[in-house]
Amino acid sequence: MDLEIQQIQSLVEKQASFVSRLTDEVGRVIVGQKYMVERLLIGLLADGHILIEGVPGLAKTLAVKSIAQAIQAGFKRIQFTPDLLPGDLTGTMIYQDGKFVARKGPIFANFILADEINRAPAKVQSALLEAMQERQVTLGDQTYPLPKPFLVLATQNPIEQEGTYPLPEAQVDRFMLKLKVDYPDREDELKIQDRMTAKDIPQINAIITPEDILKAREAIHLIYVDEKVKNYIVDIVMASRNPQKYNIDIKDYIAYGASPRATIYLNLAGRALAFMRGRAYVTPDDIKSIGPDILRHRIILSYEAEAEEQTPDQIVQKIFDSVEVP
């Protein structure tokens, strides 16, 4: 077993050698936002989609576009609006040269930025989320696979709610991570000013290829997760459903706990984080680090919690503070 772990460790170190080069290259354009860039890579490596909540101007589009350029992958930005139709996203059948042919939509790219997803009606949201889940699109009677890797980054603006169609909880649950991105600090703001007003803005160079990401995913599935860590993941998720069993006094604040997807994603994202840190095994700290991003949109608060101004992040933190760490 020790020999097998050593072999996996060697493989992980070899496959993960691009991580620092990739983050450094993206860092030539993106100032700060280390948290967002790291989480984007985790979603990419763990094959999970990401929902970002943040005000405009925080380099969300630039971050995704920069990563796409660094791995020589296709990138499409789709502005979601109330008049958007499912066909505008997935494509449609057109009559050409005496027959119907498929005209593929912008969703056929490696990276999709679904900007302000909550501004589009439910049918469009459903079309996107079906493609996210099935990794394929049906046009007419033909099904077309989406390219690999395939990552959807959807954004929501927290300050404008007029004219929006909030995502139902069941649809939000399909996103592996929900990130909350805040303003940069003063030092980073100065760097942004200097870099983005310079005569020559840095350009992203290609570092790796999509095939390297697919190989990395194979290595990630070999990363060791101890039974104690697996039980820790299950305890965290169960504590969100039955907190009283773990002596956590938050039962009245939770209407619904985390779904089984939380268990799956904690495991996969923990492996991806361990991979990025060059380790062939997952630690409880990996789970604690990635946990809030996986759980904050899966715990539905009660009216009492909202009345007392409790937030999902506060509830998640209480769970992690109370559940025994192996």
Task: Give the number of other CB atoms < 10 A from CB of residue 266.
Answer: 27
State the burial class of residue 277 (Cβ atoms within 10 Å of its Cβ: 0-12, 13-18, 19+). Answer: middle
User: What's CA 285's distance to the chain center, in Å?
Assistant: 19
- Rounded CA-CA distance 303/111 in Å is 37
Radius of gyration of the chain (CA): 21
Report angle CA 145, 150, 156 to the nearest 5 degrees: 125
Helix and strand numbers (H, E) in the chain are 14, 11
Helices (H), the chain: 2-15, 17-27, 34-46, 60-70, 86-90, 122-134, 169-172, 186-196, 210-220, 227-241, 260-276, 284-295, 303-307, 312-322
- Rounded CA-CA distance 281/38 in Å is 18
Q: What is the pTM of this model?
A: 0.87
One pLDDT digit (tens) per residue for the chain, 326 residues: 455 777 878 888 888 888 888 888 888 888 777 888 889 889 999 999 999 887 777 777 788 888 888 888 888 988 888 888 888 888 888 877 778 888 888 999 988 888 888 888 888 888 888 888 888 888 878 888 999 889 898 888 765 555 566 777 777 888 999 988 888 788 888 887 887 787 777 788 888 888 988 888 988 998 989 999 999 999 999 999 988 988 888 888 888 888 899 999 999 999 999 999 989 899 999 999 999 999 999 988 889 888 888 888 899 999 999 988 88
Q: Which two tokens stand for residue 248?
A: 């956590």
Task: Compute φ and ψ for 279, nearest 5 degrees.
Answer: -115, 150
